Structure 1
Amino acid sequence: MLRAPSTDLSRIVQRHMRLLAAAQAMSTATFQLVPALGGVMFLHLTGDVALTGLALSLSGLGQILTAYPAGRLMDRVGRGPVFAASGGAGAVAAGLVAWAFHAHSAWAVAAAILLLSAVTAPLRQLSVAAADMHPPELRGRAVGFLFFGSAVGALVAPVVSSAGTRVAGGDLASIPWTWLAAALLQVAIVPLMRGLRPDPLELGRHVHAGSVAGTPAGRELRGTGLMPAAVATYAAQWGVMTLSMALAPVVMRTHGHAVSDIVWAIAIHSVGMFAFSLPLGALADRVGRLPVMVGSLLVSGISTYGSVAFPEFWSATLFLFLVGVGWSAGVVASTALLSDLTSVGERGRRFGIAEFAGRGAVLAYPVVGSLLVGRLGLAGVGVALALSVAVPAWLGVRGAGRGQHRWGSVPAEPGS
């Protein structure tokens, strides 16, 4: 059993969190390139506007295919080895994207993006390791700190793209160089994740032995519906956020806004997604997961509707910013609740299920939303958003009532 003085243990955890945050930033920078460049790449290679959304669809499909198996593998061999292998495989896949575009092969680009998304899916579950190393009363902050690394990654992506443009001397010529730079970022993740020693899985087993899920209180909570509520909130937040990204820019463009204005609106949306994750995580620790989850659903649902219904620049931008804040609060709180309700030995699998549901929502919401707008207009979108808010909220309220779970409480783990 791992035995370490609390000061030494705290130092190990802080070091691991810095490594995870750095990996989060680098992986986010790579993930951002798919929506940023994917449509441009397919438009250039095929000349067909209808195929510009193919990159995002392939990205979601790749993540769905490997989310759960990656979680199971993390529970078996540890977090660090899976993350390191994902970074190495991601470097190869990013290099293949660069080669495929340079070879002017749309089919090869499609296959490479699918491969990239599949092999890097574990890097979307870095929060599992953060949750392993913290007791329930600190998990919201830990997940929020990790998500803040995504804000850095969101800034790295355009820097990488601009550097590629300077090297290549042109926008389209820079795309292969940009993907090669992303491959280097993925390579850098490997030593970072190999440095997670002792592995967060071991820290979770020995430092927080007897997690909530293993106690009578934890078993009671797991049977109340809180687990479905956490997964449903996680998936709904991803779906609603993606729906806003699919509809709002199109509506803004049809109302005469310049492309540069739309880019700024999306950038401000990204600030909302990541910049406030740490205080929102602290809020989830202080007042409880469920109030933050329900509040986040209301904010995201109302703001997504507002971003489409009020397409003036400042109103749409404000609503998109609030969509980002709602997404951040909901994902952080639901991630913390999932961690509270699972033992360390099954946490990877449970997060794999949540990630599978979230990626499914990413694929489904834009398609369903577009159909509803075309057939029913804003009323159809409103109904879909209302259901997206009501179902997870109802599951949470029902689960809290059945388990007599105090909304503002976070159960403590024995030995933490």
Structure 2
Amino acid sequence: MGHPGARGVPRGHGRGGSAVRGPAHRTAVAAVSDVQAVRSVQRHTVRTLVASQVAGGLGISAAIAVGAVVVTEVFGREDLSGLVQSAQVLGAALLAMPAASLAVSYGRRVGLGVAYALGAVGALIALVATELEVFPLLLLGTALLGGGTAAGLQARYAATDLAPAGGRGRALSVVVWSTTVGAVAGPNLAGPAGDLASSLGIEPLAGPFLLGVVVLGIGAVVILAGLRPDPLLTARELGSASGDPPVRRRGVLRAGWTAITASPPAVLGLLAVVVGHTVMVTVMVMTPVHMTHGGASISVIGFVISVHVAGMYALSPVMGWLADRVGRVPVILGGVLVLLASVALAGTAHEGHSPGLTAGLFLLGLGWSACMVAGSTLLTDAVEAADRPAVQGASDLLMGLAAAGGGALAGIVVGSFGYGVLNASAAVLLAAPVAAMLIPACRSLSNTRSA
């Protein structure tokens, strides 16, 4: 079996060594069955995904960085400023399943490409909304911007489609790591983007939205033009040759949820991703408020958040290597322990700035990285290939909804009880993945004793 005459797939690897000919996708399946050809396609896939992640990360981080400021300065409604980020997070969650459904039916190239394109359209709508000062339109635009986030999240799974089981963690983590470039550089481009917008007669604060239109559009083009052969379709055709079960094209969310609940390791992977992400978001979003109450300057707050972002992404390849070498479950357990240490440090830090708070935020990012990389890899390992896109979409949907809910409740908790109670509540959430690890072990021990 083989794959369409694509970049990285050598000709002449079919039976008898003859050149492969025929329709674009089906004709090269025989070539891709060659181990070296599969590796070549996988390397090309990861490079393409990394390039799209850099572009997408720039657009999302730049646009979201100024969203609250736009509401405050342009619309004069500071009380509504938090809705912009909430709309983006909800948009990313709600677009996760449509993107996964497209991937199930048409492959990763279409699923990711359409999601990035929706992000670019969202940035354009947000730009127009800022110019016209129409707040509901701004919320619509930022919700569609979530398409870029949904694409960035599902890109990590696309890196595993053709990766060998022992290399999935590393492949996934490299794509996660590439987000660092956009996440760090994007907010720093807000100023130059504002200058460019001003020179074009556009509201300067809308400049990052203009940047988002361009770079998210580039991300869509990179995927649509460059993700050939499609890794999911290639893996599916190779699986068909091996007798794998057929793909379920209807009821994608239900199929994903059924596959997860039928597998205890998949449940653990899901909990690691959802709980780790929710803990990270709830603590991170309220840290600037806690620091502001103690008189910390904007530059100091920015430094602490930068340290946190470095913890999230900079060491993700190490987490991928550990997940492949040591195992998914030990890395998840390590991530949970690191998150517990982070909320202990952050929750006991005084208002303003302190070394303990900075260390806590770094560990918050590091624990998130371990849970995200190892949990996502375990989730992929634990289900059949035919169910993976649906399972991955369901995971991103639940992760986004939980984080949006956690972020909304975080403000209420801090306002009513304080930052320390928020961190203590986050620690309680971490009991869920620990229980998912311990319950099967206890059942196994009980069965052994009864036997």
Q: TM-score, normalised by structure 1?
A: 0.88
- 8 Å CA contact retained: 2:277, 2:399: yes
1:410 aligns to what? none
Shift in alpha-carbon separation, 1:177–1:34, aligned structure 2, 3 A: closer
Q: 1:278 aligns with which of 302, 317, 324?
A: 317
1:304 aligns to what? 343
2:379 aligns to what? 338
Q: 1:75 aligns with which of 84, 104, 121?
A: 104
2:23 aligns to what? none
1:228 aligns to what? 267
Shift in alpha-carbon separation, 1:211–1:46, aligned structure 2, 3 A: farther
- Highest CA radius of gyration, 1 or 2? 2
More off after superposition, 364-373 vs 204-213: 204-213
Shift in alpha-carbon separation, 1:374–1:86, aligned structure 2, 3 A: closer
5+ residue gaps, structure 2: 3-29, 247-257, 446-451
CA RMSD of aligned residues (A): 2.7
Q: 1:337 corresponds to which letter in structure 2? A: L
- 8 Å CA contact retained: 2:50, 2:175: yes
2:158 aligns to what? 129
Matched, 1:192 2:222: yes
Q: Distance in 2 between matches of 1:119 and 1:35?
A: 12
More off after superposition, 277-286 vs 384-393: 384-393
Identity percentage of aligned residues: 27
Shift in alpha-carbon separation, 1:382–1:17, aligned structure 2, 3 A: closer
Shift in alpha-carbon separation, 1:78–1:169, aligned structure 2, 3 A: closer
1:256 aligns to what? 295
More off after superposition, 92-101 vs 299-308: 299-308
1:323 aligns to what? 364
- 8 Å CA contact retained: 1:213, 1:222: no
Q: Distance in 2 between matches of 1:321 and 1:280?
A: 15
Cα distance, 1:400 vs structure 2: 5.6
Cα distance, 1:348 vs structure 2: 1.4
Matched, 1:204 2:243: no
Q: Distance in 2 between matches of 1:57 and 1:213?
A: 39
1:85 aligns to what? 114
- 8 Å CA contact retained: 2:346, 2:423: no
Shift in alpha-carbon separation, 1:118–1:16, aligned structure 2, 3 A: closer
- 8 Å CA contact retained: 1:164, 1:177: yes
Shift in alpha-carbon separation, 1:313–1:140, aligned structure 2, 3 A: same
Q: 2:233 corresponds to which letter in structure 1? A: E
- 8 Å CA contact retained: 2:102, 2:110: no
Give the number of aligned pairs: 399
Matched, 1:65 2:104: no
1:39 aligns to what? 68
Matched, 1:360 2:409: no
Matched, 1:239 2:278: yes
Q: 1:203 corresponds to which letter in structure 2? A: T
More off after superposition, 96-105 vs 380-389: 380-389
2:330 aligns to what? 291
Cα distance, 1:169 vs structure 2: 5.6
Cα distance, 1:236 vs structure 2: 0.9
Secondary structure of the structure 2 residue equivalent to 1:310: coil
Cα distance, 1:222 vs structure 2: 7.1
- After TM superposition, the structure 1 = structure 2 runs for residues 104-143 of structure 1, keeping only pairs within 5 Å, are 104-118=133-147, 121-143=150-172
More off after superposition, 320-329 vs 185-194: 185-194
2:7 aligns to what? none
- 8 Å CA contact retained: 2:63, 2:209: no
Q: Could you give the per-residue CA deviations for residues 69-116 of structure 1, whole angstroms, max 9, x where no partner exists?
A: 321221111100121222223222211211211222222211211222
Q: 1:37 corresponds to which letter in structure 2? A: V
Matched, 1:267 2:276: no
More off after superposition, 332-341 vs 378-387: 378-387
Secondary structure of the structure 2 residue equivalent to 1:80: helix
5+ residue gaps, structure 1: 405-416
Q: Could you give the per-residue CA deviations for residues 325-374 of structure 1, whole angstroms, max 9, x where no partner exists?
A: 11111100011001101233221111111111111121121233333334
Q: Could you give the per-residue CA deviations for residues 23-80 of structure 1, whole angstroms, max 9, x where no partner exists?
A: 1111122221344111101112332322111111111221232212321221111100
Secondary structure of the structure 1 residue equivalent to 2:160: helix
Cα distance, 1:280 vs structure 2: 0.9
Q: TM-score, normalised by structure 2?
A: 0.82
